[in-house]
Amino acid sequence: MTASSAPEATWVVVGRTSDGIAAITLDAAGAQRDRVAVDGGFAEFVRDMERDAAPRWVWSDTPTWYAALLDAGVRVARCHDLRLVHAILRDSSLVSEAAELRAAVQWDAGAVADAPPEAALFELEAPDPAGPPDLLEEAVAEFARQREALAQASASARLRLLVAAESAGALIAAELRAAGLPWDVAAHDAILTTVLGERPPGGGPPAHVQEAADRVRAALGDPVLSLDSQPKLLRALHRAGIMVESTSRWELARHDHPAIAPLVEYKRLARLLSANGWAWLEEWVRDGRFRPVYVPAGVVTGRWASSGGGALQLPRQLRAAVRADPGWALVVADVAQLEPRVLAAMAHDRSLAQAARGADLYAGVVADGTVGSRADAKVAMLGAMYGATTGDSGRLLPRLRRAYPAAMALVDDAARVGERGGVVTTWLGRTSPPPSASWMRVRQKGAAAEASVADESRARRAAGDRGRFTRNFVVQGTAAEWALTWLADLRRRLAELPLVDERDAAPASGPVFDRRPHLAFFLHDEIIVHTPLSHAEAVAQAVRDAAAAAGRMLFGAFAVDFPLDLRIDESAAKS
DNA sequence: AATTCGTCCTGC
DNA sequence: TCAGGCAGGACGAATT
């Protein structure tokens, strides 16, 4: 790499060749400027390029390329993830001229988790066991197809924002895994012991679990009943005269019997033990860090999924185990009522935006006279976004339609399109998948002249289901775009904060993260930043600024508040 | 014996 | 949990 070519290195495509890894440098227009073999270490190459030219790295799949860089202590500012972007452009209704891109089915490979290598053994039956192509020439060709599709797209500014945010999210997901969430094992253990009781030395259930089980068995008059088998438990309940159809908590709660309370208690304890008990702690927390695998766009709406450790379902009960390192703090922030705020913005609904002024949108819905209580406001708004038709929520919808006609028209239209078999698109251009072949068959059968009552009912049911899906897709998907933009902008701001002094730095999360604030957790509308104490206030401001910036980047001048619940948790212990 | 299915519960 | 969207994980039961 010559020094003179560096300033023109707007994009650097990396990939494998027959001789090893090589890189092709493109200028802003996409013209090829340079091609170099990466003779030495890939990490050193990237570190030098990043310092000299700060290009946007173009690669097949972020976990494949970035995990090793992070291990070597190298971060990059920007990338273009060909696999994730391919999936967006392939399906987006904003992209019309993309026959070549859609024909490049080798890029349709599913998500490749940055799991340990042995995970590949389980993918032998997948169409492309190696994941997306990592050959340099393939990457260059796909990148050209994607640039062309973007250039041709309508609303291409939005689509470009989505592409950039999606790729930034891929970097963040890899960094979140590398950094991990600070987890206090002793605090977790104390919670378990308090709630579940002491573990008997010889094995067996913890004390409180055993006690609850014994009380259930006594009340049901069956001293050897297995409470963990749903069919057996159901039969025992019936024998005791408790005529439930399931053993779920909400149904049990309707009956009055001495076995109910201890059974509900048993289920609560058994759940904690099996999902997040000592075995979980042993398996998922290493060196004081919980490191789940995040899967950007793992959900069809664009939300992230996770795999391993149940990162997206951490019970509130265990939040107390999330603790900053000594000398560090956690900045914890979530957006209040993200989805209805996003709906107000994308529909340009001035009344709903007015109700969204301030910290509590539901209070605003009460204040403007739409409904009488905060609880009604919440259930009505959720029903509007999820497609409720009956009950309290369904009954309140006409009032929402009168008060917020633009917002309700947006979700009602999305539902109608889905019911008819159409696709819907988020604010930035992510498009829902088309209906499945089986859905089409059910619908055709129901519409046929000789359709039975059952056929018609099944078709109606399928149409309604899909309408609720597309109704929710536009809101959930756009909310995910807002959150992704928030994350990406926050990451950029955090990178601009100065490193802390060596003397302040704790042995935190490895060489990349030990001296600066870094993201540690993300869950749909919540982020946690782990930061040296000295930077906590600056981080909190960066989190707020990024939220405001995300609103502007997506929705421009149409102002909707995105207020945060934000707190700074300092470490309890000081070393 | 291994894999898939169904139930239940956690999160947003 | 009266209803209505998107998920993952554990476990036992059913299936192959």
State how far the Cα of A41 lies from the Cα of A56, in Å rounded to an integer: 19
Q: How far is the CA of A384 from the C1' of C13 (A)?
A: 38
**Residues A274-310 pLDDT 10s:** 999 999 999 999 999 999 999 999 999 999 999 988 9
More reliable by pLDDT, A355 or A308: A355
Which residues of chain A between 302 and 331 are close to nucleic strand C, CB under 7 A? 303, 305-310, 312-313
Q: How confident is the model at residue A343 (pLDDT cuts 50, 70, 90)?
A: very high
pTM above 0.85, yes or no: yes
Residues A498-525 have a mean pLDDT of: 76
Q: At residue A470, does pLDDT exceed 70?
A: yes
Q: How far is the CA of A22 from the C1' of B12 (A)?
A: 42
Q: At residue A130, does pLDDT exceed 90?
A: no
Residues A73-77 have a mean pLDDT of: 95
**Residues A389-405 pLDDT 10s:** 888 888 999 999 999 99
Q: At residue A43, does pLDDT exceed 70?
A: yes
- Residue A427's alpha-carbon distances to A15, A357, A526, A529, in angstroms, are 33, 21, 21, 27
Residues A216-224 have a mean pLDDT of: 95
Q: At residue A505, does pLDDT exceed 80?
A: no
What pLDDT, on the 0 to 100 scale, is given for residue A97?
85
Q: At residue A122, does pLDDT exceed 50?
A: no
Which residue is closest, via its CA, to the C1' of B11?
A: A313
Which residues of chain A between 358 and 387 are close to nucleic strand C, CB under 7 A? 379, 382-383, 386-387
What pLDDT, on the 0 to 100 scale, is given for residue A503?
52
**Residues A529-565 pLDDT 10s:** 999 999 999 999 999 999 999 999 999 999 899 999 9
Q: At residue A131, does pLDDT exceed 70?
A: no
Residues in chain A: 575
Share of residues in chain A with pLDDT > 70 (%): 92
Q: Which bases of chain C are contacted by protein, using any atom under 7 A from a CB?
A: 1-14
Which residue is closest, via its CA, to the C1' of B8?
A: A248
Task: Give yes or no for CB of A568 within 7 Å of strand B.
Answer: no
**Residues A409-457 pLDDT 10s:** 999 999 999 999 999 999 999 999 999 988 999 999 999 999 999 899 9
Contact A557, A312 (CB under 8 A): no
Share of residues in chain A with pLDDT > 90 (%): 83
Q: How confident is the model at residue A2 (pLDDT cuts 50, 70, 90)?
A: very low
Task: Give yes or no for CB of A290 within 7 Å of strand C.
Answer: no
Residues A178-196 have a mean pLDDT of: 96
Residues A487-510 have a mean pLDDT of: 78
Which residue is closest, via its CA, to the C1' of C11?
A: A228
For A183, the token pair is: 């987890």
What pLDDT, on the 0 to 100 scale, is given for residue A7?
55
Residues A251-256 have a mean pLDDT of: 93
Residues A190-214 have a mean pLDDT of: 95
| CA pseudo-torsion sign A476, A477, A481, A484 | positive
What SS3 state is found at A56?
strand
For the stretch A32-36, contacts whose Cβ atoms lie closer than 8 Å and that sit 24 or more positions apart, written own/partner, are A32/A140, A33/A5, A33/A8, A33/A9, A34/A1, A34/A2, A34/A5, A34/A9, A36/A1
What pLDDT, on the 0 to 100 scale, is given for residue A561?
96
Q: Which bases of chain B are contacted by protein, using any atom under 7 A from a CB?
A: 6-12
What pLDDT, on the 0 to 100 scale, is given for residue A481?
98
Q: Among A532, A408, A450, A509, which Cα is nearest to A181's?
A: A509
Q: How far is the CA of A553 from the C1' of C14 (A)?
A: 52
Which residues of chain A between 116 and 145 are close to nucleic strand B, CB under 7 A? none
